[in-house]
Amino acid sequence: MKSTAKYYSVAGIAACAATVASLGNYLTTRYLVKIALDHEKPRMVEKTERVIEKTGRSISGSEKNEKFLEELRAASERLAAQDNEIVEITAHDGEKLVGHWIPAQDPKRIIIAMHGWRGSWNKDFGLVADSYRENGCSVLYAEQRGQNNSGGDYMGLGLTERYDCLDWVNAANKQYGGKLPIYLCGVSMGATTVLMAAGLDLPQNVRGIIADCGYTSPAAIWKHVANNNLHITYGIRSVFADMMFREKNLVGLDDYSTVEALQNTNVPVLLIHGSDDHFVPVEMTYENYMACASPKRLLIVPGADHGMSYYLEREKYEDAVKAFWAEHDGD
């Protein structure tokens, strides 16, 4: 009897511990999902980010580069200070989307630029903006849904934003005549957004997609960040995260991917990535490149961390982009 009682006691303790652990996993996942998706950051998130940084458990996994950050800040301020027309459209689902239109004097093409996760139009494209202007690009810098001035309670990590790309293309064609070639350009989550949009029925004047350091799917980047940057187990958290994501966005984390989109597109694609990216592993861009069924180009920048390819190899980056335009402007 004593051994039986001891068995049930140990089993009860184990069951209780498992319940506590499961609850802990649920609560931490809920908080991380709020950070990842909610338009408004959870309260105390800045304090949490400071703690994470001190313990080395950063979400991006990237080391600080003060010189890069200083140049990025200056470029962001310059772009934000430029004259621009604030554009508002209504997305396919009724959300208000905001963009910033900066026309070229003698436009050769239109760029629709999608910034990254918790980024901004002027920060993520500040460094490259001068090159756009100097090469005859009129640019529509979109503010992604669930961020900054655009509507939406949640970000969709590319799954919902891909449809916004089509909304912006249609709005640009309606407003500016539909004669100029259009290129969808994105950085980080914006890159995933434009790559997923490749699987949609895009207008004929969308001549290409330029994607800098995009991930393959929300599920894939969630797993990578959890395991490699935050050093927490993915396991049961993936179930909780998918459930929460689906509740907020009506779609699952792994319901669509850039790989699937690129397998079913005829839109030319230029893929760019830094070899030392700690946030989005470069292997994801190799996976996209191998899957892509349309004309494709690849630029890997040795030594570049997340979003730093243009900063480290400006000339190579610009040459690759200009060659891509030259090849497809007249298609």
Kindly indicate the confidence band of residue 4, based on its pLDDT and cuts at 50, 70 and 90: low
Is a pLDDT exceeding 70 seen at residue 5?
no
> How far apart are the C-alpha atoms of 127 and 66, rounded to whole Å?
15
pLDDT of residue 167: 98
Q: How far apart are the first and last CA of the chain?
A: 83
Non-local (6+) Cβ contacts of 118 within 8 A are 147
Angle (deg, nearest 10), helices 2-37 and 235-249: 40
pLDDT of residue 45: 54
pLDDT of residue 65: 82
pLDDT (tens digit per residue) in 248-266 = 999 999 999 999 999 999 9
Is a pLDDT exceeding 90 seen at residue 127?
yes
Asked if 266 contacts 238 with a C-beta cutoff of 8 angstroms, the reply is no
pLDDT of residue 255: 95
pTM for the whole structure: 0.89
Residue % of the chain over a pLDDT of 90 = 75
Q: Please compute, for residue 12, the number of CA atoms within 13 A of its CA located in the half-sphere on the CB side.
A: 6
Angle (deg, nearest 10), helices 189-197 and 161-176: 70
3-state secondary structure 33-74: HHHHHECCCCCCHHHHHHHHHHHCCCCCCCCCCHHHHHHHHH
DSSP state of 154: B
> How far apart are the C-alpha atoms of 36 and 249, rounded to whole Å?
12
Non-local (6+) Cβ contacts of 215 within 8 A are 188, 189, 191, 192, 221, 224, 258, 280, 284
Asked if 189 contacts 158 with a C-beta cutoff of 8 angstroms, the reply is yes
Encode burial over 118-153: b for 16+ CB neighbours within 10 A, e otherwise. Answer: bbbbbbbbbbbbebbbeeebbbbbbbbbbbeebbbe
- H or E, element range at 85: strand 85-90
pLDDT of residue 54: 46
Tell me what the pLDDT averaged over the chain comes to: 89
15, burial (CB in 10 Å: exposed 0-12, middle 13-18, buried 19+): exposed
> How far apart are the C-alpha atoms of 290 and 288, rounded to whole Å?
6
AA identity, residue 324: F
Is a pLDDT exceeding 90 seen at residue 30?
no
DSSP state of 144: P
Number of other CB atoms surrounding residue 74 within 10 Å: 12
Domains of the chain: 65-217+256-328 (3.40.50.1820)
Kindly indicate the confidence band of residue 23, based on its pLDDT and cuts at 50, 70 and 90: low
Of the ranges 18-32, 62-76, 87-101, 110-124, which one carries the lowest mean pLDDT score?
A: 18-32
Find the radius of gyration of the CA atoms of the chain: 22
Question: Taking CA 271 as the corner, what is the angle to CA 270 and CA 274, rounded to the nearest 5 degrees?
Answer: 140
Kindly indicate the confidence band of residue 56, based on its pLDDT and cuts at 50, 70 and 90: very low
pLDDT (tens digit per residue) in 269-320 = 999 999 999 999 999 999 999 999 999 999 999 999 999 999 999 999 999 9
DSSP state of 159: T
Kindly indicate the confidence band of residue 206, based on its pLDDT and cuts at 50, 70 and 90: very high
Is a pLDDT exceeding 80 seen at residue 53?
no
> How far apart are the C-alpha atoms of 272 and 35, rounded to whole Å?
27
> How far apart are the C-alpha atoms of 33 and 237, rounded to whole Å?
10
Query: Diameter of the chain by CA atoms?
Result: 91
Is a pLDDT exceeding 50 seen at residue 103?
yes
Question: Taking CA 256 as the corner, what is the angle to CA 251 and CA 259, rounded to the nearest 5 degrees?
Answer: 165
Q: Are strands 96-102 and 85-90 parallel, antiparallel or unpaired?
A: antiparallel
Closest-CA residue to 92 (of 207, 211, 200):
200
